[in-house]
Structure 1
Amino acid sequence: MAALLMSVFCVALLSACGGDGDASKSPSMADQDRFLRKYVESLNTSDEPALSRLLDAHPQGAKDARARIKAYGGQDWDVRWDRTSEFAGVWKVDMTGTARAKNRPVQVTETVTWEDKHWVLAPLPGVVPTPSNAAGTEPPS
């Protein structure tokens, strides 16, 4: 009985680690949801250091974090998002929330990419250089 329990435990542990298979290298939408939740939590609390760590996958993440906190921070958003993907590894995420002051809707569109086994938000336009595989964030003219 103990051997059976130990083997079940080992299988569960190996499954949780993800192994070296292709599945561990491909993006997971549940993982993207966790990434976006951390992003929104950092914005809601205006936690610039946490947001900097989240954005450290692209150049000058701290500078971009300061710009995001200035633009969107402290809103106490109750956020929902929809996402679409027209290119492999790139998602357009439309986030809609409610600002605390006047309870009015707040809408933000983010470009989220899957690079080197990490989720990366494209930097705000004009703030920092765009990562290599990120889609542009400028609206079409």
Structure 2
Amino acid sequence: MTVPFRRPAHRRAAAEAEQRAYVVFGGQADLLWLRLLRPGFRHCFAALADAAGWTVLDPLSGRLVVARLDLPPESDLPEFYARAGFTVLGPFLPGEPRWSALPPLLPMSCVALCRAVLGAAAPFALTPFGLYRGLRARPRGHSSNNLGFIRKKS
């Protein structure tokens, strides 16, 4: 008897939660080599909103921080980040998993994490500014990800 393939529970829960993803860009350069990158676009991270609240995925040097924030679901976290001096793009619909014959060949970075959250429709980029340009260049309604708004630093 064969058992039909079922999605893992966490994938079903994510699909049912109607998540929205925001990509946040910042210019802080904690490591010396990051100063080679464009000011204002030296790091990026993802903030996910769902019916229960906010989750932040922030790849730091040597570790990944995943934090469920103790905020009401209706709070405007992207506006908070924009007021704090970050550039915010979104909302996007997180992408579906995609099939690939090869494993990922690029190292894990903040850009790789944000591209993984956005899924197959994410533009190819190696730097935070490259990701920003790729997301800005997409026409509205492209694929399953809608570019809803852009909030720039004040």
Q: Which has the higher helix share?
A: 1
* TM-score normalised by L of structure 2: 0.28
Structure having the higher Rg: 1
User: Which one scores higher on RCO, CA 8 angstroms, separation ≥ 6?
Assistant: 2
